[in-house]
């Protein structure tokens, strides 16, 4: 759990996420990490798995299908006369994800189906359409785009390439921090994918390890892919006011949000640069540069606190890499790298 240990369950007013165990104070209704509805405080179930993104594969237990939700029981069926749904492979706060076979092309794809409880919600529908709109404009090996989208039997869905690998959050959980020679190439690849998105006028706004896949190539090598543009916004848009929407989906994840995103200021590429810097810090150290016991504490630390340095956590880190990560998470946008290309070049020159 990224925001530190849960608050004591004895606080009767506390609400808990049944998926990740994070606690929140009323009037919060949904978890800021994975979008799940909150329940009254108490100890999390030891059998409840942590959410590790929507394209996870491997030995990860999924929660049982939600009773009465047609979108959760599509395995073995054909979606829209074209997609043979093989098995459910993931679940997020808004949608189920299935591995499927495209009967027209023979290609294995991932089909993301909106939860039935959200199909009548204008905000949820708008977010799904927004994800389809922006991701269909992207075509880069380090970005997971959208192949198609539609609606069948009242269920809106997106079709994406099926990524063979595991999320970065899953890798971190299994193996802990990565040494620089392994981590820095992944960070440079993410810079390239996000630079492509920024060039297409798209900001991600919710970059975190759960939204990065490490995809296995035929050679056995891996490359990083940015996923889930559900919160993406065209960079020409006006100020993004932070709010809890009617569906409970927070526009961003507190541990990775830039100060200007927390404040609801207009965003540009430098906000994604901040998020990637925080992601890189965690990938290299297993810790966050800004820490707090609650989502609110974490956001306050982003606004007022001084971040840790890589070498404070691990003195063996290269000094040049320490400087690069520190610049990427500078408090003022003008003090950060100004483009993802600048960030990538600095990583290249850090010589881990």
User: So which residues are the catalytic ones?
Assistant: 206
Structure tokens at 289: 């540069």
Residue with tokens 């939204």: 211
Structure tokens at 344: 């990538």
Burial readout 150-188 (b: 16 or more C-beta within 10 A, e: otherwise): eeeeebbbbbbbbbebbbbbbbbeeeebbebeebbbbbb
> How would DSSP label each residue in 158-191?
EEEEPP-EEEHHHHHHHH-SPPHHHHHHHHHHHH
Q: Contact, 79 vs 85, CB < 8 A?
A: yes
Residue with tokens 């993004």: 240
Count of Cβ atoms closer than 10 Å to residue 45 Cβ: 11
Q: Using CA atoms, how far apart are residues 29 and 50, in angstroms rounded to an integer?
A: 19
Q: Using CA atoms, how far apart are residues 230 and 135, in angstroms rounded to an integer?
A: 9
């Amino acid at each position: 759990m990224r925001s530190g240990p849960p608050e004591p369950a004895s606080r009767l007013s506390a609400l808990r996420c049944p998926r990740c165990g994070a606690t929140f104070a009323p009037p919060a209704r949904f978890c800021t990490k994975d979008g799940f509805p909150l329940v009254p405080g108490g100890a999390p179930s030891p059998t409840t798995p942590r959410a590790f993104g929507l394209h996870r594969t491997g030995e990860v237990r999924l929660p049982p299908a939600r009773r009465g939700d047609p979108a959760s029981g599509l395995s073995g069926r054909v979606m829209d006369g074209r997609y043979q749904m093989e098995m459910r492979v993931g679940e997020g706060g808004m949608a189920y994800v299935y591995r499927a076979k495209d009967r027209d092309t023979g290609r294995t794809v991932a089909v993301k189906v909106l939860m039935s409880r959200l199909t009548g919600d204008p905000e949820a529908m708008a977010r799904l359409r927004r994800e389809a709109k922006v991701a269909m404009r992207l075509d880069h090996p380090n970005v997971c785009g959208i192949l198609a989208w539609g609606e069948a039997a009242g269920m809106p869905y997106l079709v994406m390439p099926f990524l063979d690998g595991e999320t970065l959050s899953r890798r971190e959980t299994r193996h802990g921090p990565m040494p620089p020679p392994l981590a820095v190439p992944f960070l440079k690849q993410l810079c390239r994918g996000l630079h492509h998105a920024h060039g297409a006028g798209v900001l991600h706004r919710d970059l975190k390890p759960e939204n990065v896949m490490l995809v296995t190539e035929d050679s056995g090598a891996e490359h990083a892919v940015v996923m889930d543009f559900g919160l993406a916004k065209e960079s020409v848009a006006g100020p993004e006011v932070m709010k809890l929407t009617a569906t409970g989906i927070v526009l961003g994840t507190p541990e990775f949000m830039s100060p200007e995103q927390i404040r609801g200021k207009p965003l540009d590429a430098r906000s994604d640069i901040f998020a990637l810097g925080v992601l890189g810090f965690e990938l290299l150290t297993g810790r966050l540069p800004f820490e707090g016991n609650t989502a609110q504490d974490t956001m306050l630390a982003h606004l007022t606190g001084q971040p840790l340095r890589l070498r404070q956590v691990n003195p063996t880190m290269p000094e040049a890499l320490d400087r690069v990560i520190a610049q990427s998470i500078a408090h003022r946008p003008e003090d950060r790298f100004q483009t993802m290309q600048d960030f990538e070049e600095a990583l290249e020159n850090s010589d881990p």
